């Protein structure tokens, strides 16, 4: 789908590296329609910087190719007019002028608009039936869980991110795929902002080294060591201070979701 052409997130470190714990989970359910998929692709075509980058690449490639061919065009025109009419110099000048014309004109040819139209035509004519219907998206610090009538996926933040396009949020996969969440699925603008903010925070946290991710997760949570049950709240290392067991963020998150919290010691 075209929605892969969205602006990528960038990992940034905060001045305060261990902020308060974020919500355990955000869940939203909604009904997706064919118009939603067409709408999100139209938004990506309008807004994505990837298209401008493609246009810039086309202009650069056209100039480079024309500069490479300029001596060939000049020499060819000189030889052709020289042998046929004895006008070697005139032929070279004419060839050079034509080459300079191409150097200016070819980069101006708009090939990107045609690509946009073709891409949207392909989407509008595609069978989107397997992508519509009741959809649920859950997000937490471990990743994103997506359920539709035809599929179910669990994606870690290492291979997923969230971006915006028009009236939609897009959950991008590492392989170029994606799922969409319409803004109408949220009760208020504040809920929409919170979803994007928290998803971005979770994604950003997943880009940190293991010890930093653990410190961020247990900053103000009561999380028990899986071996000795020591309360890891506030720990800033990648091993349990009590028993020395190495700590893995994914194991801590899974255990926290599956078992009740222990009281602080």
Boundary (domain end) residue, out of 171, 188, 206: 206
pLDDT digits (tens, 9 = 90+) for 190-215: 999 999 999 998 888 888 887 888 88
The two three-digit tokens of residue 245, written as one number: 């067991």
At 175 the pLDDT is 64
Same domain, 136 and 194: yes
Decide if 155 is inside a domain.
yes
Q: pTM of the prediction?
A: 0.61
- Number of domains the chain is built from: 3
3-state secondary structure the chain: CHHHCCCCCCCCCCCCCCCCCCCCCEEEEEEECHHHHHHHHHHHHHHCHHHHHHHHHHHHHHHHHHHHHHHHHHHHHHHHHHHHHCCHHHHHHHHHHHHHHHHHHHHHCCCHHHHHHHHHHHHHHCCCHHHCEEEEEEEECCEEEEECCCCEEEEECCCEEEEEECCEEEEEECCCCEEEEEHHHCCCHHHHHHHHHHHHHHHHHHCCCHHHHHHHHCCCCCCECCCCCCECCCCCCCECCCCCCECCHHHHHHHHHHCCCCCCC
Same domain, 24 and 65: no
Boundary (domain end) residue, out of 101, 123, 145: 123
Same domain, 225 and 114: no
Q: Residue 98 is part of which domain span? A: 49-123
168, pLDDT greater than 90: yes
Query: Would you place residue 7 in the very low, low, confident or very high pLDDT band (cuts 50, 70, 90)?
Result: very low
pLDDT digits (tens, 9 = 90+) for 206-262: 888 878 888 888 887 888 999 999 999 888 888 999 999 998 887 887 777 666 544
Same domain, 216 and 202: no
Same domain, 162 and 185: yes
Boundary (domain end) residue, out of 80, 96, 123: 123
Percent of the chain with pLDDT over 70: 87
Decide if 219 is inside a domain.
yes
Same domain, 136 and 200: yes
Cβ contacts of 229 within 8 Å, gap of 6 or more: 262
Cβ contacts of 166 within 8 Å, gap of 6 or more: 39, 40, 42, 43, 44, 46, 47
Same domain, 177 and 237: no
At 31 the pLDDT is 94
Decide if 216 is inside a domain.
yes
Evaluate whether 213 touches 11 at the Cβ level (below 8 Å). no
155, pLDDT greater than 70: yes
At 16 the pLDDT is 38
- What's 26's domain CATH number? 2.30.29.30
Query: Would you place residue 33 in the very low, low, confident or very high pLDDT band (cuts 50, 70, 90)?
Result: very high
Same domain, 140 and 119: no
Residue 91 to residues 5, 31, 53, 103: CA-CA distances in angstroms?
46, 67, 38, 18
10, pLDDT greater than 70: no
Evaluate whether 11 touches 204 at the Cβ level (below 8 Å). yes
5, pLDDT greater than 50: no
Evaluate whether 144 touches 137 at the Cβ level (below 8 Å). yes
184, pLDDT greater than 90: yes
pLDDT digits (tens, 9 = 90+) for 86-97: 888 888 999 899
At 261 the pLDDT is 46
């Amino acid at each position: 789908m075209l929605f892969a052409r969205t602006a990528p997130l960038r990992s940034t470190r905060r001045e305060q590296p261990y902020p308060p714990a974020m919500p355990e989970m955000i869940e939203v359910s909604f009904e997706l329609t064919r118009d939603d998929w067409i709408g999100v692709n139209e938004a990506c075509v309008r807004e994505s910087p990837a298209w401008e980058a493609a246009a810039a690449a086309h202009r650069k490639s056209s100039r480079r190719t024309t500069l490479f061919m300029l001596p060939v065009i000049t020499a060819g025109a000189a030889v052709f007019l020289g042998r046929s009419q004895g006008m070697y110099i005139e032929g070279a000048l004419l060839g050079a002028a034509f080459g300079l014309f191409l150097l200016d004109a070819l980069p101006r040819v708009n090939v990107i608009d045609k690509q946009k139209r073709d891409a949207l035509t392909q989407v509008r004519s595609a069978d989107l039936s397997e992508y519509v219907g009741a959809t649920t998206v859950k997000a937490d610090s471990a990743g994103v869980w997506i359920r539709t009538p035809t599929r179910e996926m669990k994606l870690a933040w290492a291979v997923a991110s969230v971006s915006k396009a028009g009236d939609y949020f897009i959950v991008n996969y590492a392989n170029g795929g994606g799922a969409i969440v319409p803004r109408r699925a949220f009760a208020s603008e504040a809920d929409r902002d919170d979803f994007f903010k928290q998803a971005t925070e979770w994604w950003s946290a997943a880009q940190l080294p293991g010890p930093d991710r653990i410190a961020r997760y247990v900053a103000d949570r009561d999380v028990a060591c899986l071996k000795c049950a020591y309360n890891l709240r506030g720990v800033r290392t990648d091993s349990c201070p009590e028993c020395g067991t190495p700590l893995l963020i994914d194991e801590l998150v899974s255990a926290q979701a599956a078992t009740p919290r222990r009281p602080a010691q």
